[in-house]
Every structure is written in C-alpha cells, then in structure tokens.
Amino acid sequence: LGLNNGLAVTPAMGWNPYNAFACNTVESQYHSNAQLLVDLGLKALGYEYLNLDCGWQGTARNSSGDITWNTAAIPDGIPALGEFVHDLGLKFGIYSDGGYFACDTVGGTAHFLGSLGFELQDAAVFASWGADYLKYDNCYAVSKTDFVDFDPPIEVSFPPLFYNPHYTTMRDALGATGRPILFSACEWGVQDPARWPASAVANSWRISNDIGPPASWDNLFRIINQLVPITGFAAPGGWNDLDLLEVGNTGLTMTEQQTHFVFWAAAKSPLIISTDLSEISEEAVAILTNTRVIAVNQDSLGQSISFKRRYTNDYDVWAGPLSDGSTVAIVIEMQDSARAITFNLSDVGFTSATAMNVITGASLGTLENSYTSTFDAHGALVLKLSNPVIAPQPTFTFYDAAASGNVLAGGASTRLVNGTITVVGFVGNGGTLELTGVDGGVSGGTKLLSVDYINADFTATNTDCSNCRNAFMSVNGGTAVQVQMPLSGQSWDILFSGYLVSLTGFKPGKTNTIQISNPSAYTPDF
C-alpha cells in the first residue's frame, strides 16, 4: 500500500532548524538559511524544502479557532515567511503536532499549539499559507499532562491494517485541502509505524527517538540497529526517516559525519540538513554536496540498503540494489580507531565485481573475493559494485533450539510463538541454551552459523547495546565469542532469519556442542 499523493517519489531533501536552534528559531534565521540553501548550491542539488520546526506556533487560537504564530519569533507572520521561501524557488514546510500541545525544549511547559481536534481547520490554514510539507510530531498525544510518552495507550486499530488515528486524521485533512503537501509523520517509531504500514499514511515516518541534539556516535548506532528489521518497508512515496542530519554540528568527528551521511543516503532516509548554514564548514558542505552519494539516495529504484553481516565490535556490512543493476555496499567501521579492514565480497553475495568508491569517485577496477581499505575511526567505505559474479550460496543443516536433546539450564525455557513455533527464551542472566549433537563435518575447525532469533528489546535511549542484545557463543566449552544481534522487530513474534557468525573449535563428527549465554543480560530468543 502507498499514500499515492504523488509526492516523495524519492526521499525529501531540505533544511530544518531543530538540531541547530531547537525550538528557538526566529524569522531572521529562517531567512538566512533559506538564502544559503540557494547560495551554497544546495538547492540546485535537490535540497528544496525549507521547513519550520517547534516554536513558530502561538499558545492560543484566534477567535475563529485558527492556529496562530509566535509573533516574537516570526514578527512578519507565517504567510510572509512562506512567500519569502517560495520567492527563492524553494518549497515551504510547516510543523505541527498530533497532540494537545506541540513539543518544546523546556520540559513541556511552553504549550505551543498542537493540532489534535483541529486537523481539518489547521490543514486548511497550512494550505492557505502555501505549505508544501508538514512535519507532524507526537508530544502531548495522550493527554494535556503527558508530555512525551514512548509507550502511548493509543489503540493502533482498523484491522486488518493497523494505524495510529492521530496520523490518519491529519493525512485525510491534508488530502481534503486539494494542495499537494508532503506528510512527514514524526511518531518516533514508538508504535512500529513501518508495519502499519505507514506508507499508507505518510510520505515518511520517523523510526526512532531523536538523533540529537547533542549529536553522538551512540545515537547513530541506536538508530542503525533500529533500522535493521524494517528496511524493506521503504519505497517510492514512503520512506523510513532516520531523523535530521547532524552534518555540520558538534559532537561527531568529520569522519563520523561522513559515515552518518552516506548511511542515511543509502538507507533512503530523507536528507534534511539541520545545522546553521551561516556557520557551516567547507568540509561539511563537501559532505552534503557529494553528488554521487546524493544519487544513491535519489535513485529511482528506491530500495534501501539492508543488513548483511555484523562482525561484532569490528564492522558492519550493508548493501542494496540500484536502478542501473549495480549494488551499493557500505562497510562501517565500528571501532573508534584507524585501521585496515578487509571487506569480503561474499558478504554481499559476490565473488568478484567492478567497483567504484562512491565517496571519492575513484575507479577500483575488478575486485576479486575481497578488498582491503584503510578506515579512520568510525569511518565508512561505500562501493558501487557492477558486473558481479554471484557467489555460491552456503547450505546449512538446521538445528532446532527447542529440540529435546538440547540442554536448557538456569532459567532458560521454551515459549510458543503465534501458536505454532516453539522458541527458547530467558537465555542469559544465568540461563543457558546448549545445542548438542552438532555436526562438525569431516574436518571440524571453523563453521558458519546462520541464526534465527527474536529480539524486540527496543529502546529510545542509549545503552550499552542500544536496540540490540548480546549473546556469547562457545563451541565445545571453548572461549565464548560475543555476538551482537540487532532488533528483529518491536514485538516478540517477529523473526530475524539468517544472522551469520563464524565460530571456531569444532571437532569432526556429530558430537559438538554450542552453548549460548550472557552473564549479565538476556540474549535474544532462539
């Protein structure tokens, strides 16, 4: 299903003030950043939306019940600001909230106007002001006293599809205006909007809590893990929104900003700059204006990269197809140190391919089996791979975690999922799962495991393993190997199938054991 309003055929690109100015943006800052979108050449590359964020609204409606603006922040008024933006050849984005009040950065005390209960009226006003885009936030969605609720008791109903009614109501109100207004649902991912599916509600949907401010590598890692199970929901007209860009802001090194930008681009997230363009460095502008990276984001196929392999505490591999038949592959250095990393083409299903470095534009010729590159701390390698030779697919022997011959101890136990599948849970915190009778083949040694698991331990905050769980796997009583496993979904009945990890220590024959544990936390269910 799709929204089918003809908008966001490729991910939106533009500017929003939040990461730079929070809810304190004033008219002159909107003017200057709009002008700089043009002057820095950003508009010409596709950054066409100049969007408002929290703080533009008043705190009381007028006598007709219409939404008002903050005259201290926007003295000339929103209609005049929209006209200024349009006169620059840009599109004008408005902000509102599907709650009683809008979000703010003063603990919910500002009480900027929200649109709950006024959707038709507000949509009509936004259209009359020339709005081309609406970012629709999620504060005070439950009550006038519940500022931010990451587990809202709002029934997501309308079976057989499941939608948050606050967002469908505004969707319909925007449609009733007759004006094409891109609808950006800022629901923070708390009710798993990708699976509603949100593509029938909005042109993009936030998948996570805020990226900042302040910016940090931990924020990026949290959001990357939350994307893992939902990459397949992005398509022309509806996109996973990984949140505003932090390129140009403090908190990330220039290398981390580059990694952030290329990952967001390849994941087909909207690319919404959120820094003060009057203070931006030449290096940050160069990241934002890399036409090869932008082309990946705006590729007409509209298919996101997907998670391929995690080498725990080492590096990630993601990849996805492009419209010309090539593949974009991204290797992310997860260590905070500079070093060489060898990328194995088999991790994206190839034995050889013709390669171009997307960041630099350098042609790398034909790669055979692997490619070694030097990475800065938290850096990224982005390759466009063409003319590939497809690698043979490995074959696996299936072992049921819940099989009677396995050993569950210390509280590990089975549970039934969807009335049909038995899984093993409560592994970790003393609970262990030991698979027995595992075949090491004729030579033993190192084996590739493909693991099916369920992990719905999602979080809006940064932890030691944000939106992931660690398992420790030991072969035949040997040293346990940490295996970091991202979300499979946001409910405990969604499976991630085919997580790959190599383990050593197998003996020839069918007498091997694999024990799974975690001394201080729970693992996924297997």
Which residues does the annotation mark as catalytic? 137, 210
Which candidate, 64, 73, 156, 155, places its Cα nearest to that of 118?
64
Q: Is the preceding peptide bond at 213 cis, omega within 30 degrees of 0?
A: yes
Shortest CA distance to 261 belongs to which of 233, 235, 280, 242? 242
The string of DSSP letters for 165-229 reads: HHHHHHHHHHHHH-S--EEEE--TTTT-GGGTTGGGT-SEEE-SS---SSP-HHHHHHHHHHHGG
CA 275 to each of CA 17, 30, 426: distance values in angstroms, whole numbers, following the listed order: 7, 12, 44
Q: What does the DSSP assignment read for 40-88?
A: TTTGGGT--EEE--TTSB-SS--TT----B-TTT-TT-HHHHHHHHHHT
> What would the two tokens of residue 472 be?
């420790």
Q: Is 429 exposed, middle or buried (0-12, 13-18, 19+ CB in 10 A)?
A: middle
Using only C-alpha atoms, the chain has a radius of gyration, in whole angstroms, of 24
Do residues 340 and 373 lie in contact, with contact meaning Cβ atoms separated by under 8 Å? yes
- Say if residues 294 and 45 touch (Cβ distance below 8 Å): yes
Residue written as tokens 């979000």?
103
